[in-house]
Amino acid sequence: MGTSLEVMCELLVGNLESGDWLEALIFSAIYLKWINTGQIPCFEDGGHPRPNRHAEISRLIFRELERIYCMKDTSLQEVLSIRKIHPCLPSFKAEFTASVPLTRIRDVAHWGDIPHDLKLQIKHTIQNKLHRNAGPEDLVATEAMLARITRNPEEYSEAFVEQFKIIHHELKDFSMLGNLTEQLESIKESFDDRSLSALTLFLECKERLDNLEESKDALDKSIDLLLKTAQSLNALREVIVKGLESSLRNDVPDAAIAMRQKWRLCEIGLEDYSFLLLSRFLNALEVVGGAQQLKENAESKNVSSWNGPLGSLFVGIRQLGLSGWKPEECTAIGNELLACKEKGLSEKEGSEDGKAVWALRLKATLDRSRRLTEEYSEALPQMFPQKVEMLGKALGIPENSVRTYNEAEIRAGYVSKLCTLLLKAVRSTLGSQGWDVLVPGAAHGTLIQVLLISSKQESSKS
């Protein structure tokens, strides 16, 4: 992986003109993604760069990415590309930039009470590869070895197994692959009291949600808890984004840069988790009646039942803004959603009752929300496909991986789906048809109705 990072460093850290950034960032995001997912394997090349070299290069790349990210004239496309590179960079904490990092594996490979063949396997499949050309496949090999030595609890000594578990944890840490809770716990020490309160609330909500049993009785609780968790996530992510607003100074200590990398990955991890919460909320909402139930509640003037879905949509829109996607528009839509919730049916205009005014106002806001999410969803396909295909062909990436690259990248689809569900409900409340005008205009001519296209074609031939 060291050579791969050196290529990225040369591409990104040089004196690039502003117009060259986007292409370099996109190619880097694609390349590192395929490295991390094993599509591009890392082989030894005869050199002997220890993992500290990887960490040092990662730090250089991170500094350059953060510099570009915080510039006022950085485009939305550049921001999105940078956000895809960050999770692919290895950690550069002090323990990984030390002159001889990750030495525990050497001690374990010479452990006294394990069979000789196991020592050799650890040395040749993990230790040597890790110290010569560390890559994502080292973590895979370590996980496979850990599964082997823990299969029979009494086969190997408890001390040996414990040391190997520590090695596995260190490699996860080096690869920045800890779960969200682990990542957030790792930055707790850098929080002030207000930030710590937001972190504690989110972790408590997340833990309760993780432990919530799936049952009919728990469904209503899960909807409320999903919303509370999403709202606490939103508050926590706002705190972290606020802390990342200022650019890095030239004289900032290495330890501070390493902590900023943790903050950035936590911020990106919270974004990913927010859309997982939104997906679960959508599923739960459909189970309890979806658009039809919301329509019936609105017709009986019980619009308070809409507060949960609107609150969830507010969080989804806010997440897009925190990721750099048209933040002013996201803020405006968020304010409109809050106004709809607060005013409810209290507003009237002329002969229109409060329900009609509320529904019309909400429909306009939902239309605006869906336009925003569709623009976001369309931005990534415009940025990546051609370059994915070009790079994939050059590197011999399987065609299926090239074709499906963008599918996992679309996040705003869940927000758009929630908009669609709410629009369906609000249109039904207004008594309008559930159709969207795709191409407005007029048509002239004769309309001929047939049961099948083929019947018209046969009639024309005869």
If we measure between CA atoms, which residue out of 151, 185, 145 comes closest to residue 165?
A: 145
For helices 254-287 and 51-69, angle between their N-to-C axes, nearest 10 degrees: 70
Angle at 167 between CA 45 and CA 87, to 5 degrees: 65
pLDDT value of position 264: 96
pLDDT value of position 454: 66
With contact defined as beta carbons under 8 Å apart, do 321 and 330 qualify?
A: yes
pLDDT value of position 409: 55
pTM, two decimal places:
0.80
CA separation for the pair 322, 326 (Å, rounded): 9
Q: Give pLDDT tens digits for 246-289.
A: 888 888 898 999 999 999 999 999 999 998 999 999 999 998 89
With contact defined as beta carbons under 8 Å apart, do 149 and 161 qualify?
A: yes
The letter for the amino acid at 8 is M
Residues paired with 349 in a beta bridge: 352
Q: Give pLDDT tens digits for 375-386.
A: 888 777 778 888
With contact defined as beta carbons under 8 Å apart, do 435 and 74 qualify?
A: no
CA separation for the pair 155, 113 (Å, rounded): 11
CA separation for the pair 7, 233 (Å, rounded): 36
Residue appearing with tokens 């040395």: 123
pLDDT value of position 232: 97
Query: Which pairs count as long-range contacts for 407-412, CB under 8 Å and 24+ apart, including other chains?
Result: 409/84, 409/380, 409/384, 410/377, 410/380, 411/271, 411/272, 411/275, 411/376, 412/316, 412/320, 412/373, 412/374, 412/376, 412/377
> Which residues of the chain are under the pLDDT cut of 50?
18, 455-456, 459-460, 462
If we measure between CA atoms, which residue out of 278, 206, 202, 210 comes closest to residue 240?
A: 202
Q: How many Cβ atoms sit within 10 Å of the Cβ of residue 277? A: 24
298, HSE (Cβ side, Cα atoms, 13 Å): 29
On the 0-12 / 13-18 / 19+ scale of CB atoms within 10 A, 400 is: exposed
